[in-house]
A and B are shown apart, each in its own frame.
Chain A
Amino acid sequence: MFDWKWDFAFEILPRLLGATLNTLMAAGAGYAIALVLGLVLALAQRTPVRLLTAVVREGVEFIRSTPLVLQIFFVFYVGPQFGLRLSPWTAGMIAIGLHYAAYLSEVYRGGIEAVPKGQWEACTALSLSTRDTYTRIIIPQALPPALAGMGNYLVGIFKDTPMLSVIGVAELMHTANAIGSEHYRFLEPITMVGVIFLMISLPAAALVRLFETWVRRKLGMIR
């Protein structure tokens, strides 16, 4: 009943490792988009322009309260109706980047709001420009408390990449599925995908924690 075939597992390993690279690329690119776009969304909610703040706020809420897989479908299949014809990769990166940007913007917002009011006042007292206030004083202090959340979403985006298989991005899940259909065997490919995810997620989470400590020390926030 439970017949694991090692030779089959070794035979498909190279293909799965190749797909792992795609998964990592998807997660990395999606995360890079989310990191930058998330900051833009967070800062946009702090401008004195009420309308902009409200629109961004609602947009973030909307993205956070609908499923990622729906957003991936939407960008890929509904986009062309608006003349937006995208490759699976591009559509996938936009959807997953936007989705996680919404979550990260909340993490950034929390980090920024955790910076004591006195820091803003000290910036005003020194006549620092708004730009210097953010880049030199506020964001460096908002970062350490935000790092834990940012790390969680890095692992989260990695684990969500299989959803890209629904539009045919050749990441791990998609490849495992293809192998399974070709050979009528799913046990090995799917199990191996699980192991690969585990072997990347666990060290990544540990690395994120190390990085967090390193940043705090670098910024002189640890005695």
Chain B
Amino acid sequence: MKDLHDLSRYPLRLEGPDRPMVSFRNVTKRYGDLVVLDGLNLDVAEGEMVSIIGPSGSGKTTVLRMLMLERIQGGVIYVDGAPLSHMERGGKLVPANSRHLRAGREQIGMCFQHFNLFPHMTALGNCMEGPVQVLGLSKQAARERAEDLLEMVGMIDKRDEHPARLSGGQQQRVAIARALAMRPKVLLLDEVTSALDPEVIGEVTEVIRKLVQKYRLTIMMVTHQMGFAADISDRVCFFYDGRIEEEGAPADLFSNPQKERTQQFLSAVKSAD
């Protein structure tokens, strides 16, 4: 009951040309008694590249999963102005049902550390599955779209291969193409290079660089690659214990961190490199 009452504090929609593409308002995520995220506030502008860094268990993955895979226990998440975690009923926000969630999540794409390609489908099949089954595209249209994207990520030559015959870097590039085939407004990347051999990391980061610089896609990226995050992000958020401990432009956060925990984390990462 308390939660329902609280909801009246949140707007039904976010309006205006400056409204964020993604907005977390006071979002809480619990697993049982464990509070993983506590009152998170985070706005991501359209076309912005936000990197999320922080120690293991600080809640980085959870931030992305709330947009894509999980329900939340408090607060509201908006995507492109409309509530995602909730829906409007009779002028009030109520928790979203699964249909609303599914519709809202069609606007979001996600790539995972372990690719999660469908092993029984070819690269092309992987990229056509969502457009055909979910968006209702014809096979022909979906194929053209998939081929364009496989071309873009440099995987067009391998379009008829199954994932088992692709290297990690190649699989991840197909996974990015698969996510983009849904024409998402926001792309979520969760440590997409962490499972890769060092020599193929570059081929994936190059694709991400292209998405940022050429296509101006809105991206939220969890990463342990500080150099890449510094290089490519508009903003970096340092997570600690389920909160944003410090955030800012990469130049500021990496070269001049204000908080002690940020300093400790960055120097620990640097010495590990």
Residues of A in contact with B (beta carbons under 8 Å apart): 116, 118-119, 121-122, 124-129, 132, 136-137, 140-141, 219-223
Query: Which residues of B are found within 8 Å of A222, using beta-carbon distances?
Result: 164
**14 A-B Cβ contacts within 8 A?**
A116-B116, A119-B118, A121-B112, A125-B69, A125-B110, A127-B103, A127-B182, A128-B130, A132-B134, A140-B120, A220-B162, A221-B119, A221-B120, A221-B162
Tell me, in angstroms, the Cα distance from A121 to B68 when the chains sit together. Answer: 9
Residues of B in contact with A (beta carbons under 8 Å apart): 68-69, 102-103, 105-106, 108-110, 112, 114, 116-122, 129-130, 133-134, 162, 164-165, 178-179, 182
Tell me, in angstroms, the Cα distance from A119 to B110 when the chains sit together. Answer: 13
Query: Which residues of B are found within 8 Å of A129, using beta-carbon distances?
Result: 102, 133-134
The reply to whether A126 and B116 contact each other, CB–CB distance below 8 Å, is: no
The reply to whether A124 and B105 contact each other, CB–CB distance below 8 Å, is: yes
The reply to whether A136 and B129 contact each other, CB–CB distance below 8 Å, is: yes
Tell me, in angstroms, the Cα distance from A131 to B23 when the chains sit together. Answer: 31
Supposing A121-B69, A121-B116 touch, asked if A220 and B122 sit within 8 A by C-beta, the answer is: yes
The reply to whether B69 and A122 contact each other, CB–CB distance below 8 Å, is: no
Query: Which residues of B are found within 8 Å of A126, using beta-carbon distances?
Result: 129-130, 134, 178-179, 182
Beyond A125-B179, A137-B129, list 15 extra A-B contacts (CB 8 Å): A121-B68, A121-B116, A125-B108, A125-B109, A126-B129, A126-B182, A127-B182, A140-B120, A141-B118, A141-B120, A220-B119, A220-B121, A221-B120, A222-B164, A223-B164
Query: Which residues of B are found within 8 Å of A140, using beta-carbon distances?
Result: 120
Tell me, in angstroms, the Cα distance from A126 to B109 when the chains sit together. Answer: 7
Supposing A125-B69, A128-B130 touch, asked if A137 and B165 sit within 8 A by C-beta, the answer is: no
Query: Which residues of B are found within 8 Å of A219, using beta-carbon distances?
Result: 119-120
8 pairs of A and B residues whose beta carbons are closest in the complex: A220-B162, A118-B116, A126-B130, A122-B116, A219-B120, A125-B110, A127-B106, A132-B133
Tell me, in angstroms, the Cα distance from A132 to B112 when the chains sit together. Answer: 21
The reply to whether B120 and A220 contact each other, CB–CB distance below 8 Å, is: yes
Tell me, in angstroms, the Cα distance from A125 to B106 when the chains sit together. Answer: 8
